[in-house]
Amino acid sequence: MDLQFSRADRAFQAEVRRFFETEFPPSVLNKVRTGQFLRRQDYEAAQQALQARGWLAASWPREFGGTGWTPVERYLFEEEMELAGAPNLIPMGLIYIGPIICAFGTPEQQQRWLPDILSSRSFWAQGYSEPDAGSDLASLAFSAVRDGDDYILNGSKIWTSGAHIADWIFCLCRTSHEERKQDGISLICAPMNCEGISVRPIVSIDGAHELNQVFFTDVRVPAANRIGEEGRAWHYANVLLKNERLSYAHVGRKKRDLATLRTMVAGDRAFARRLADAEFTVMVLEQQVLKALVHGSDAATVASLKIGCTQAAQLITELYIDRAGEHAAPFFDRSRSDWHEATPLIPEFAAVATASYFFERAQTIYGGTTEIQKNLVWRAIDSAR
């Protein structure tokens, strides 16, 4: 599909491609290629290589160390990064809280937190979901009680990606009880080494430890760690969730997977039809992402993108399971670093096909369930009638 990029865009795309071919850490690329679970040091190496070129913070304004790229340049960069087999950046600092600090943080907060995110000295976790507040996030009960110049935090957050390796966590906190449950919520940051914070690992269905439950017991943090106004965090959270859902697209990675799957058709017409369905889904997704980046997006547009991302990812992993056949039966979790040595007689992709299939089932839920996204789309259609 020719999306009619300009000559300058194509030159930029070629520059990015050369970078990943010649300058990006090959050890990290090999881990991604062989389906191994990446550690913090792998992400640090990847991010430091990008920052050395000034390419790490694509979604930040230039004055805060961002790239200043156009939406199309940002899209082409992410596509080439994924086509090269580079890992997705850990988003909590760079894509989620970083832009929020740029837009709503104080100058002191910007000077305090942004340089460490860019240098990979600090990794962040996102404290949103709770045991009784997931899809209905506004029902959160995690409390922050003002005590002089501090807040006292109590409660727990769950499904917290990367909390076990994070230096900081940003949390949605209930600072007051208002008639409208979306009001009275504030965004407060805490260092993970605070007294009173404990982390319980959650091993997900793909066998990896990425998720956690984080417990807060009388955790004292300065009020200066609150981002924006007290009680206004629901607005900031919606801005953040929009960035989060756009980050799920991973069009380049899907194109890479489709190219691999094309080599496995082998005259199987039924498989070829299913592959064509997946290719069409990714083609539509690519057009939607570019439109959203260039022209902006409302809640319904972002919701439809999240649905499309989920459908495409799940279709692709189903196709991998089909081609792996009996080789998908021995389940190797993504946390093992030695599976490719233990399974030399099966196709490389097959050893983690089942783990990837399981992992992508969760995309129906995280970042807003598919049912909620469909409701958002329906409301937009209904209001336009």
Residue 288 φ/ψ, nearest 5 degrees: -65, -40
Residues 262 and 285: their CA atoms lie apart, in Å, by 19
**Under 8 Å between Cβ of 170 and 189:** yes
244 in catalytic set: yes
Q: Which of 40, 58, 149, 61 is nearest to 110 (CA)?
A: 61
Q: 33-42: b or e for each residue (b if 16 or more CB lie within 10 Å)? A: eebbbbeeeb
Reported as half-sphere exposure (CB side, CA atoms, 13 A), residue 49 has a value of: 22
Q: Which of 203, 253, 204 is nearest to 87 (CA)?
A: 253
Residues 382 and 115: their CA atoms lie apart, in Å, by 44
**Under 8 Å between Cβ of 214 and 142:** no
Give the containing element (helix H, strand E) for 114.
Answer: helix 107-118
Report the DSSP beta bridge partners of residue 213: 158, 200
Q: Which two tokens stand for residue 114?
A: 């942004």
What does the longest C-alpha to C-alpha distance in the chain come to? 72
First-last CA distance in the chain: 33
Residues 228 and 110: their CA atoms lie apart, in Å, by 12
Full DSSP string of 143-204: EEEEETTEEEEEEEEES-TTTTT-SEEEEEEE-S--SSTTSSEEEEEEETTSTTEEEEEEE-
Selected catalytic residue, list 244, 279, 286, 360 = 244
Residues 5 and 73: their CA atoms lie apart, in Å, by 10
Place of tokens 């989060």: 244
Q: Which two tokens stand for residue 124?
A: 């962040």
> How many residues make up the chain in this entry?
385
* Residues annotated catalytic, as ranges: 244
